[in-house]
Amino acid sequence: MTLAFFDDVRPDEKRGVAGAFLVLFGLLAGHTVLETARDALFLSRLPASRLPWVYLAMATAAVALWRVQGKGLRRFSGGGGLAVLMLFCAAVTFGFWALGSWSSPLALGALYVWSGLVGTITAVQFWLALGERYTITQAKRVYRLIAAGSVLGAVAGAGIARVVSGRFGGGALVLTAAILFAVTGAAAILLLRGRLRVESDSVAPADPASVRQWAALLRGHPYVPRLAGLVLVSTVALTLVDYVFKSQVARRIDPAELPSFFATVYMVLNVLALIAQFAATGWLLRVAGLHRALWVLPALVALGAGGVAIGGGLVLALLMKGADGTLRYSLHRTTLELLFLPISDGLRARVKPLIDVMGQRGGQAIASLFILSELVLRRGDVVLSLAVLVLCVVWIGWAIDLRPHYLELFRTALRQGTMRRDADAPELDLEALEALFAALNSREDVEVVAALDLLSEEGRVRLIPALILYHPSADVVLRALDLLGPSGRTDFVPVADRLLSHQNAEIRAAALRARNVATPDERLLRSAMEDASPLVQSTALVGLVSSGWASDDAQRAADALMNTRFPEAPRALARAIRLQPSPAFRDVVLELAQSADREVQAQAALAMQAMGDLGFMSALLPMLSPHEVREAARSALVSFGPPALEFLDQALADETLPHEIRRHLPRTISRFPAEDAAPLLLRRLVSEKDGMVRFKILRGLGRLVTGRPDVPLDEGILREATGRTLEAAFRLVDWRLTLERGARDVPARATPGHELLVSLLRDKEVHTRERVFRLLDLRLRGQDLERIYRGLGSVDPKVQASSRELLEALLEAPVREAVLALVNDVPDRLRLADAQAFYRPQDLDYEQLLGKLLEEPGETLRCLAAYHVAELGLTDFRPRLEAAQKKETGLFVSRVLERALRLLADAGLRQAAAHAT
């Protein structure tokens, strides 16, 4: 292990990383002790011919576990879930020791299967817990160090097993494993507490699908079945190796010595695996490349298998097992992870569980059936060793055949931009790097840019040839200059100097910027101030100021660029500041933010983000209103972290803030870490008066829960919000019925304004119904309320009926009755009757309702109510309209009220004239 591992861990991460390392250490130590006990007890009391049956049982149990994993294990969350699981494993393991029935074949077989399941479920839960704790960015730094705990824990576990078995025998190993699991479970509670991850970048694995769905998936992606075949062949071969080794051991080692023998062998193998992981794997991948590195394990296994076949006995069986134990979890696992790299995130999340389970456990099952057939034919280890030899040849041939498909998929992923690095993915191998360099010569610009980006992600910018700057594509040259400038290289400077006279102003500016970062030159920058392009002038000006060479002339040049009649000049200045941020431009950026040009505003917002000054938050807030600038403003605010979140929370609580800004605050808040943003939005959900803002809060919460299904939300607040929303929904129904009844009673009320009001209330009913379902979705996560909601709107009566049936099963009274009343196709009066728990109809006449609508917070509803009052000539409403106009701050509503008052004044004059007549 190198010190560079520790350098990657930041001070605030050390406790969590140390805790995860120790938990994984304890987990693997306990599992290694349990495996040692399993092998020793089984082979000392039962013949090796029973092993195929337990292999089959393990494969079956693993597949069954995979099928229920999404429904069972995912209910655990974080370190607490892992602790519960470890304590459960400790209790079951302790139960095996307490029974002590080591003479029972059934108990020994159950112990063998249990040891395999422990390894599967604890490993899955451990990495799920870490996935909740760390972001992708953090994981890239810390996972390698944490993963080292597995190998060191296995070494320690083997050492403990050797000491315990030597003093107390094989049965005591089971108790030792139980103790280690219990200690690890308790440690998980203490060490993995704290905040969960701050963002969610990973793709959640898909639930297991049907065999037909998997078959369709494999047919559509030819690389996947080839990769699955490689895993299957290697698993069959290594399962046969395990059997042959244990068969030889059972025949040649005294049963009383088996615990000590297995503990010693496993300790040596784990030490060799540790050395291979940190010393050999990276070197082999660099020197031999990925696909040649795939040959190493099968070649060594084949050598041992050939020796066993010709009578080599236990020594060569140890060579086979040694190659397996040393390289399977180091070189072999690393190369397999690299083979998954070119597969897109979504596809990888679906096929990896299939390959892991069907490939590995399916291979184990096939090997078991083959062993059983050979036992029936009494052909023994010689034929099995020859089978291993043949499988190793097939394994190597399969790896050779896979290479062109891997490289082609790699090229396709580059062209489409679908390849992303996993948090714990190994470094790119030699052949992958060769594919990247080949992509730099592609005719497709997008493939070249993708290759440049991937080299940057890998920290290999030094490998980008400077001659790439002669590429005919402006996009490629611009991206290369962006990467080369801050890389610390200077070999590209002569080529960049040539680009300073390029006909493309974007390239001239980028070359000047990269050149100034690599080797600052005042004379060159002042010369560029005379360039005809405002973009180049701005880049030179910003370079001068950033380098400390600013002068009064430079300040005058900045003023001239901002006040020119050419719109591209301030845009260029804002963009140049964004790309070369300096505190000296703070006032300039604030002035640019006041520009009427939306593009200038957007560049100013991005410049604020690059400068990282919290004082910009007040200036960014109004930028949330125009849609052309909104995304840039959001990005800047989110980059400021917790202070910006507190600022936005205060802004959301400020009801005097213009509606055009407030309605965009919930979405902006939802861009922050879920565990911080969700409580803020939830707190405003009930108290918020503005219906549009409340809807945006709901959408923001839904977005957070989609990204983080485990984020906690206060059930009491959600229940209250659901009740209030149901009340609002049925209030709208009641108001609409009052309007319709009033028009029937007095036909003169059936004016265009009346029809618009009724139509608006119907629309609001639909929107409120959607809000009810959004709230239910937050309360009943995982029940796919969105699909049920869509089903209710289906034209197919069967789909509608099925959706209602699901609702009835999922909801509890009294919410069930109210929601069904809301969605059922029954008369409105019956719907109101079924909603008595949340709303009782108000006894309002037509004019009383209009007065109430004039007081509603919704602008459209108030405007239509005022217009309808004017239509009907209800002059008694004039004082109320005058009072409303005085308080109104919105320009549109104020104008509508003014128009209504004029109409009422005319109506009053007509009524007075008619009365006089």
pLDDT digits (tens, 9 = 90+) for 475-527: 999 999 989 988 888 999 999 999 999 999 999 999 998 988 888 888 898 88
Please name the residue that has the structure tokens 């069959």. Answer: 236
Q: Is the pLDDT of residue 411 over 70?
A: no
State the Cα torsion 104-107-110-116 to the nearest 10°. -90
Residue 142's pLDDT is 64
Which residue, 709, 651, 719, 659, is CA-closest to 685?
A: 719
Q: What is the mean pLDDT of residues 444-465?
A: 84
In three-state secondary structure terms, 657 is coil
Model confidence at 799: pLDDT above 80: no
pLDDT for res 418: 52
Model confidence at 860: pLDDT above 70: yes
Say what the pLDDT of residue 412 is: 67
CA distance 195 to 391: 48
pLDDT digits (tens, 9 = 90+) for 41-63: 887 877 877 777 887 787 777 66
pLDDT for res 80: 65
Return the pLDDT at 786. 84
Q: Letter for the amino acid at 702?
A: G
List C-alpha distances in Å: 164 to 27, 172, 173, 652, 659: 18, 7, 7, 63, 72
The residue type of 546 is: S
DSSP assignment of 580-618 equals S--GGGHHHHHHHHT-S-HHHHHHHHHHHHHHT-GGGHH
Euclidean distance between CA atoms 236 and 52, whole angstroms: 12
Specify the range with the lowest mean pLDDT, choosing from 151-155, 492-496, 851-855.
151-155
Q: Is the pLDDT of residue 723 over 90?
A: yes
Distance CA 79, CA 81 (A): 5
| Closest by CA position to 264, among listed 40, 109, 68 | 40
Neighbouring C-beta atoms of residue 787, cutoff 10 Å: 10
Residue ranges of alpha helices (H) inside 8-50 are 14-45
- Residue 263 is predicted with a pLDDT of 79
Among candidate residues 396, 399, 391, the one with its CA nearest the CA of residue 309: 391
Its pTM stands at 0.58
**Structure tokens given for 750:** 């059936």
Q: Which of 216-230, 253-267, 501-515, 566-580 has maximum average pLDDT?
A: 501-515
How does 227-265 read in b/e, with b if 16+ C-beta sit within 10 Å?
bbbbbbbbbbbbbbbbbbbbbbbbeebeeeebbbbbbbb
Highest mean pLDDT among 236-250, 308-322, 702-716, 736-750: 736-750
* 808 or 496, higher pLDDT: 496
Residue type, 134: Y
By C-alpha distance, which of 279, 332, 276, 270 is closest to 301? Answer: 332
CB 387 within 8 A of CB 240: yes
Under the banding of pLDDT at 50, 70 and 90, the label for residue 772 is very high
398 in Cβ contact with 229 (< 8 Å) = yes
DSSP letter string over 333-401? HHHHHHHHTTS-HHHHHHHHHHIIIIIIIHHHHHHHHHHHHHHHHT-HHHHHHHHHHHHHHHHHHHHHH
Rounded CA separation 325/393 (Å): 19
Q: Which residue has the higher pLDDT, 204 or 362?
A: 362
Distance separating the N- and C-terminal Cα atoms of the chain? 105
Between residues 73 and 92, which one has the greater pLDDT? 92
Q: Where are the alpha helices (DSSP H) in 100-222?
A: 105-133, 136-168, 171-191, 211-220
Output the pLDDT for position 563: 65
Which residues have C-beta within 8 Å of that of residue 586, sequence separation ≥ 6?
611, 613, 615
* Encoded tokens for 727: 């009340």
Whether the pLDDT of residue 385 is over 80: the answer is: yes
Top pLDDT among 652 and 120 is at 652
- The pLDDT of residue 349: 62
* Dihedral sign, Cα of residue 48, residue 50, residue 53, residue 59: negative
Identify the residue with better confidence: 775 or 197. 775
pLDDT band at 560 (very low <50, low <70, confident <90, very high): low
Is the pLDDT higher at 734 or at 541? 734
In which band, very low, low, confident or very high, does the pLDDT at 710 lie, cut at 50, 70 and 90? confident
Residue 204: which pLDDT band, with cuts at 50, 70 and 90? very low
Q: Which of 282-286, 461-465, 562-566, 644-648 has the highest mean pLDDT?
A: 644-648
Distance (Å) of CA 136 to CA 142, 198, 343, 709, 813: 10, 10, 18, 17, 43
The stretch 325-347 carries a mean pLDDT of 74
Higher pLDDT, 556 or 711: 711
- pLDDT value at position 499? 93
Residue 186 one-letter amino acid: A
The overall average pLDDT reported for the chain is: 81
The sign of the CA dihedral 758, 760, 763, 767 is negative
Residue from 188, 180, 87 nearest 129 by CA: 188
Confidence of residue 550 (pLDDT cuts 50, 70, 90): low
Q: How confident is the model at residue 422 (pLDDT cuts 50, 70, 90)?
A: very low
Confidence of residue 562 (pLDDT cuts 50, 70, 90): low
pLDDT greater than 80 at residue 468? yes
Is 90 exceeded by the pLDDT of residue 665? yes
Write the CA distances from 173 to 37, 150, 260, 731, integer angstroms: 5, 19, 11, 69
Distance CA 337, CA 331 (A): 10
Give pLDDT tens digits for 75-87: 444 556 778 888 8
Give the whole-number percent of the chain exceeding pLDDT 70.
82
Return all residues near 762 (Cβ < 8 A) that are at least 6 apart.
736
Please give the angle made by the CA atoms of 763, 765 and 766, to the nearest 5 degrees. Answer: 65
672-696 pLDDT per residue, tens: 998 899 999 999 988 888 888 999 9
**Which residues, 6+ apart, have CB-to-CB distance to 459 below 8 Å?**
none
